[in-house]
Amino acid sequence: MSRRSTQRIAAAIAAVSLIAGGAVAGATAASAHPGDNRPSSSTNKPSHHAQVFDRWLDEQVDRTVTDEAQATFDAVRAEAREALKAAMEAAGDDRDAKEAARAEFRTAMSTAVTAFDQATLPADQVQPVADYREALVVAKTTRNNTEAAAKADFNAARTELRATYDAAKEAATTDDERRDARQTFRSGMREAKGELKAAKQAAKDTFRADIATAQDALVAALNPAS
């Protein structure tokens, strides 16, 4: 993969966190401007002060940002952040309530970004960009789900290996039997860890491929005669 391809995918990965990042987006959206073309000091690893926007996307479209459109987005974003902060504080240790708050924030930010695109893009570019943004969110969600499933499989395998080891150790009557039980457990754990690592790498590779596909589809949609 070329350096340019890597950079454009990295920009999209950073941008998708604006909508799909939940708590991460809650921190980074403070300085995010969907139409901002200023250089960013951090697009790969968003932080509290990171500029989270898709620079590659804005190189492809003809965006015209008016003061009204920017002010409207800023107001909605600020309201969404305040609502998220209040909801998270009210949730306390309730994980379900916190996830619900993050989901509401993601919905609000998605709506704000969509409205911003509609207000600042030519009519014939709105739907292709909407499809592109949706593809990014789907790619991110798919990766998260795949990694979560792999982690669950690993935890189940570890639990089973531990139970088998404990039973074998309890039944062992010699040092050799206890050593064999330990070796079997360690071997099983190495295999389980290897499978988890491979699954995560596969999810990452698929994620990056999905983003590249979405970017290619956007370019094709914006340039039908090319």
The domains of the chain are located at 1-121, 123-226
Which residues are CB-neighbours of 55 under 8 A, at least 6 positions away? 11, 37, 40, 43
Amino acid at 141: T
Q: What is the pLDDT of residue 224?
A: 87
Amino acid at 67: D
- 35: closest CA among 55, 19, 5? 55
Q: Is the pLDDT of residue 27 over 60?
A: no
Torsional sign, CA 31, 35, 41, 42? positive
Could you count the other beta carbons within 10 Å of the beta carbon of residue 15?
26
The answer to pTM > 0.85 is no
- The label of the residue with tokens 């492809």 reads 60
Which residues are CB-neighbours of 12 under 8 A, at least 6 positions away? 54, 56, 57, 136, 211, 214, 215
41-74 confidence digits (pLDDT tens): 333 333 332 334 688 999 999 999 999 999 999 9
- 27: closest CA among 60, 49, 7, 59? 49
Confidence category of residue 21, pLDDT binned at 50, 70, 90? very low
Q: What is the pLDDT of residue 23?
A: 36
**CA contacts within 13 A on the Cβ side of 124:** 6
150-198 confidence digits (pLDDT tens): 999 999 999 999 999 999 999 999 999 999 999 999 999 999 999 999 9
Please give the Cα distance from 167 to 199 (Å, whole number).
29
Q: What is the pLDDT of residue 1?
A: 58
Please give the Cα distance from 215 to 129 (Å, whole number).
10
60 and 128 Cβ atoms separated by less than 8 Å: no
Confidence category of residue 18, pLDDT binned at 50, 70, 90? low
**CA contacts within 13 A on the Cβ side of 113:** 29
For residue 208 the two structure tokens come to 């990056």
Three-state SS string across 116-180, please?
A: HHHHHCCHHHHHHHHHHHHHHHHHHHHHHHHHHHHHHHHHHHHHHHHHHHHHHHHHCCCHHHHHH
For residue 85 the two structure tokens come to 């902060």
Please give the Cα distance from 75 to 107 (Å, whole number).
15
